[in-house]
Structures are given as C-alpha cells and as structure tokens.
Amino acid sequence: MPTKTEQTINRILTIAERVATPLSLSVVDVRFSQQGRRKSLEVTISKPKGPVSLSDCEKLSRELEALIDAEADADGHPLIEGAFVLEVQSPGIERQLKTEREFSVFAGRQVKVLVKEKIGDLGLSFTGILGGLCSGKVLISQAKPLIENGRSAKSKSNHKKNKPGAEKAPGAETSVAEVNVDQKNIASAPYGNSRKSLMRNERGTPET
C-alpha cells in the first residue's frame, strides 16, 4: 500500500499534468526533498518542442500552487502540511534517464548513451532515438557511434589497433537501425538539452 507521502505525490502529479498539458509541457518528475528544516516540492517539466523557458516554469508554478492550495486530503487537511518551497524546473543538461516515467516522457527524442560494456560496432558511447523502456531493456533506434573531435570512439579504438594506413575512410561509421540495451549496462544517459530553468516560490509560514 502506498505511503501517505507517495499518495500525496501521486495527487500532485495528477494536478501538475492537468496544468502542464494545456501549456504544451510534460511532467517528468515530482518529488519532495528536505534541506535542514526546509521542505521543498520539486516539479521537473519538459517541453517536447524546444527548451523549457523561465516563463514556462512561472506559468506552471502559478497555476499549480493555486490548485495545491485549494486541494485537501481525505481528512480535510491541506494537501501539503506546513511551509514548503515549490520549485518548478527543467531537467538541465546533465539530467539522467532513470525512471520508467522518464523513459516514457522522452521517447522519440535523441539521447546520448554511455554503456559499461561495449555493444558491437557502437562501442561504449553512441547516440540514437529513444524508443522507451520495456522489461529492463532500453530501445534505441538509428544508433550511431558518438563523434568526438571529428572521430568516433570506435574509430579511435580501431586507430590504435590498426597499422598506419589501415584506418577506415572518414565518414565510414556504423549505423544500427535498432538496438536493445540492458538498462543495467547503461552507465549514463543524459537527456537534458539546455541549461536548467528554475522558478522557486516559498509557500506558507515556516514552523517555529
């Protein structure tokens, strides 16, 4: 059975989605965090077509806080007891794909994947279009070795192994139509594409 905190998060997630959809935004994550005596409600949002702006965060924050203030739990108490800081933010460039919800929200977008064990000609790092997560497998289509400084990680490896003059011609890179990657094999999968936008608003009166 979900804890009271989990039930509250699920209710806030439902409310946040109701606000986000008309604004052409997606809710990536909702969570509580605690820093000392300060409680924060962090709502992470994404924009399917382009980066999230500060204006996007402000709009969602304003509407969400009004609905949270109007909500009550099953016993008639406020949805969130006591003072808290509402933080509406974009993922930021280093945000990692971890939860099933994140894999679902970002399906169809390009991601960079770093794995612990090499995957065929793709090597240890590659880019591709995220298909989603199913039974612990991450589907990546149109996968290509990651290009760094004009040469892929795979090409660098080949260059060290091959004799001078035996390197592949520039541009002769591998492309895989579809690959299933074990989620446990993924070392890093950042999906943010811009600097983080953040709207912070303190709600209620701090407890004494």
State both tokens at 6. 């989990």
The predicted structure's pLDDT at residue 196: 67
Query: Residue ranges per domain, the chain?
Result: 4-92+194-203, 100-188
100-188 fold: SH3 type barrels. (2.30.30)
The predicted structure's pLDDT at residue 148: 60
The predicted structure's pLDDT at residue 149: 47
4-92+194-203 fold: GMP Synthetase; Chain A, domain 3 (3.30.300)
Nearest to 201 by CA among 44, 80, 70, 58: 58
* 30, 5 contact by CB (below 8 A): no
Per-residue pLDDT of the chain (208 residues; tens, 9 = 90+): 889 889 999 999 999 999 999 999 999 999 999 878 889 999 999 988 888 999 999 999 999 999 998 887 667 788 888 889 999 998 877 778 888 899 998 899 888 999 999 999 999 999 999 999 999 999 999 999 987 644 555 544 554 454 454 444 344 456 788 999 999 998 888 765 556 677 777 866 554 4
Under DSSP, the state recorded for 98 is: -
Strand partners, 135: none
**Burial (CB count within 10 angstroms: exposed 0-12, middle 13-18, buried 19+), residue 64:** buried
